[in-house]
Chains A and B, each alone.
Chain A
Amino acid sequence: MTMNKIALVIEDDFDAATIFATALGKAGFETEVISEGDAAVARLETVTPALILLDLHLPRVVGTEILAGIRANERLKDTRVIVTTADSRMGESVRPQADLVLLKPTTFSQVRDLASRLVPGMRKTATAKLENPS
């Protein structure tokens, strides 16, 4: 059985999406970028990603709704979700449903390293040394 390496980047900002997608690519994922909420909902009906990187501020369907949809879907129970947001209150409110909440600004290396740790079997990168930061 081949390993599921599919990652979705759901992010409407082109640059942020590019950086995140590249970071996930570096972490060994097959990455796909979706920039609109409704398109993301539609895509999630056909694909079962190992990881979703989800922005909360999206056009048409907001991130919190997508997250609730993912968590309500039995097929997506193994899918790991990293939420990125600039709003810590929003981040706080979705923390129980997300596997990880990253407050923007989120850096390239942060995404790359954390994603590879979150999904077991992904290649460890040289700088992934945040095992126990304190």
Chain B
Amino acid sequence: MLSTIAKPFQPLLTVRASDPEDARRRKLLNILLVGVMLITLIALVTIIVSAVMGVAGEPWEVMLLFGMAVGALIGVAIIFAINRYRAGWLASALFLLLLTAVITFGDDAREVVAGRSLFMFAIPITMASVLIRPYASFILAGVTAVLISVIAISINIIPNTPAILSFMILALVSWLSARSLEHALSDLRAINRELDQRVAQRTQDLSDALSREQAESSKNQAILESIADGVIVFDKRGRAIVANASVAQLMGHSPEEIMQNNIESLMAKDVDEADREMTIKLLQDESLRTPSFKFRWGTKTLSVSFATVRSVSGVIGNVMVCRDFTREAELDRMKSAFLSMTSHELRTPLNAILGYSDMLQEEVYGSITSEQRGTIRRITANTSRMLGMVNNLLDQAQIEAGKLAIHVEPFAIENLIDDLRSVATVLAENKGLDLTCTIAPEVPSTLASDSQRLHQILLNLVGNAVKFTQKGSVGVRVFLPDADHWAFAVADTGAGIPTEAQSYIFEPFRQVDDPITRNNIGSGLGLSIVKQLTHLLGGSIQLKSLVGQGSTFTVILPLAPIEEAQTA
């Protein structure tokens, strides 16, 4: 209640000062001044009322009292101003001196030094310790002692020594209590300050940590957003918890649609069922994962890879990284289309030339002269060579592009050898060579490999054997070299291959540098392709040759079917 009334006057009483002790003392003085002012005002009113009612004394006495009261008001106002705008100690000292003076001269001298007014001196002494400094009570006590001694002597009485001693003791007690109060306050302020500092430090730490966290998080977000690849993270329940802008664009969904959705519903519209199932399997089962998995997502082709996301506390979920593979897939398709088109477009006319030459040679359109027959033979031989080169170049291109697919399936070894015979017999007979084909009885009738590639290998080796053999025979033998392998050997009675050449004839575009082979120029790719195909089929190739005695190429292949693969 009182504080509510006092509140509006607070600013008036409070003095701003850098030293909190000073501010406190000055505020205290202000309160005292207000108190004095109120008392003075009451006194003034009392004087006026008594004068009007005629109960006061002589008019000069009334005038004197009135003047004193007004003087006291002015004095209070001056001290207030000094306290507010100048030094607090000066105002306090003035106030206390004024108070002491009023006490000293406000009563009869005898009463002052030994009577009723003597105890009044205790007031300024006590106040001094609180208003100025603790030790100030001693100064006031000293001043009081001097005053009452002087007055006592002036009116011829012995100074009141017990009273002076009592004032000194009072000063001591005031000093002690004021000092204790100041120390307690200063300790409290120190504690407060420390507390404030601690709170400020904590606040700063927290704010730093928060801004660090924010910076880190926004950095990660910025990195994630700037990645051209689509990144999407699924939690353990399969719901999307992180998705960047790229993945939203690739999947054709907005980021909001992606978040909290599972992969099944995201793929539902744009991915066919088989790819959907495969993706779900790869996402869930770490052991099935391959470096990348490609499938169509709407109009795009995506290349997708998966990884498990782990933190210190365990598995968080799985991340799926998608790359737009549309252009590469299109180029791939175009390349394949080009290769297959080229291969067809180049082979078909060459086959036609061979066919028509054969017709002429077989005298379908009438008899031909021996010169014509010779010419037709040259046409046939050159066309065959060109066809072989085209086939080899396309195969080499396919192997290099990683496009040569291997299809493992059961086949009859009898059929493979029959196919070979139907083509190679003519070649051999044209050169007057014997071609023999034998299959060892222990060889299983059905084997598992890529029969088309085997046919190619066989034809190449037999073709070479025929090409480099001038007289004698070419033999093909199928057998089992050990329990886990089967093999075929192509042996000829030709010129043989020098030891130094045996090391490089399997390299692309290398041929034995020999005057004899100059007559049999080819692309130099045949044996290189044979070796690469053999490797693709999981086998190896061996060569045994002696110059002048002939060569034997042996291709050894596993009996157990190999995994289907692509050259890569």
Q: Which residues of A contact B (CB under 8 A)?
A: 13, 15-16, 18-19, 22-23, 26, 86-89, 92, 95, 102-105, 107-110, 112, 127, 130, 133-134
Interface residues of B in 353-400 (CB under 8 A from A): 354-356, 358-359, 362, 364, 387
Q: Number of B residues contacting the other chain (C-beta, 8 Å)?
A: 31
Indicate which residue in A18, A87, A92 contacts B411 across the interface (CB closer than 8 Å). Answer: A92
Give the Cβ gap from B411 to chain A, nearest Cβ, in Å. Answer: 6
Contact A107 B354 (CB under 8 A): yes
Contact B455 A19 (CB under 8 A): no
Give bound CA distance, A130 to B422, whole Å.
Answer: 9
Chain B residues within an 8 Å CB radius of A133: 421-422, 425, 435
Contact B355 A15 (CB under 8 A): yes
Chain A residues within an 8 Å CB radius of B349: 15
A-B contact pairs, 10 of them (CB 8 A): A18-B355, A89-B409, A92-B409, A92-B415, A95-B415, A103-B455, A104-B351, A105-B347, A130-B422, A130-B425
Contact A89 B451 (CB under 8 A): yes
Indicate which residue in A88, A104, A105 contacts B452 across the interface (CB closer than 8 Å). Answer: A88
Contact A107 B455 (CB under 8 A): no
Contact B356 A26 (CB under 8 A): no
Chain B residues within an 8 Å CB radius of A134: 421, 435-438
Contact A108 B359 (CB under 8 A): yes
Give bound CA distance, A113 to B350, whole Å.
Answer: 22
Indicate which residue in B364, B419, B426 contacts A26 across the interface (CB closer than 8 Å). Answer: B364
Give the Cβ gap from A9 to chain B, nearest Cβ, in Å. Answer: 13
Task: State whether A22 and B351 are in contact (beta carbons under 8 Å apart), knowing that A92-B451, A134-B437 are contacts in the complex.
Answer: no
Task: State whether A86 and B356 are in contact (beta carbons under 8 Å apart), knowing that A127-B362, A130-B425 are contacts in the complex.
Answer: no
Contact B352 A16 (CB under 8 A): yes
Give the Cβ gap from B340 to chain A, nearest Cβ, in Å. Answer: 11
The 3 closest A-B pairs by CB, nearest first: A15-B352, A19-B355, A108-B358
The answer to whether B42 has its CB under 8 Å from any CB of chain A is no
The answer to whether B546 has its CB under 8 Å from any CB of chain A is no
> Which residue on chain A has the smallest CB distance to residue B439?
A134
The answer to whether B102 has its CB under 8 Å from any CB of chain A is no
Give the Cβ gap from A93 to chain B, nearest Cβ, in Å. Answer: 9
Give the Cβ gap from B511 to chain A, nearest Cβ, in Å. Answer: 24
> Which residue on chain B has the smallest CB distance to residue A134?
B437
Chain A residues within an 8 Å CB radius of B97: none
Chain A residues within an 8 Å CB radius of B426: 107, 109-110
The answer to whether B74 has its CB under 8 Å from any CB of chain A is no
> Which residue on chain B has the smallest CB distance to residue A89?
B452
Task: State whether A22 and B348 are in contact (beta carbons under 8 Å apart), knowing that A15-B355, A88-B451, A130-B425 are contacts in the complex.
Answer: no
Give bound CA distance, A19 to B359, whole Å.
Answer: 7
The answer to whether B407 has its CB under 8 Å from any CB of chain A is yes
> Which residue on chain B has the smallest CB distance to residue A19?
B355
Give the Cβ gap from B360 to chain A, nearest Cβ, in Å. Answer: 9
> Which residue on chain A has the smallest CB distance to residue B419?
A103
* Per-position 1/0 for B419-449, Cβ under 8 A of A: 1011101100000000111100000000000
Give bound CA distance, A13 to B268, whole Å.
Answer: 44
Chain B residues within an 8 Å CB radius of A23: 359
Contact B358 A109 (CB under 8 A): yes
Chain B residues within an 8 Å CB radius of A127: 362
* Per-position 1/0 for B60-89, Cβ under 8 A of A: 000000000000000000000000000000
Give the Cβ gap from A18 to chain B, nearest Cβ, in Å. Answer: 8
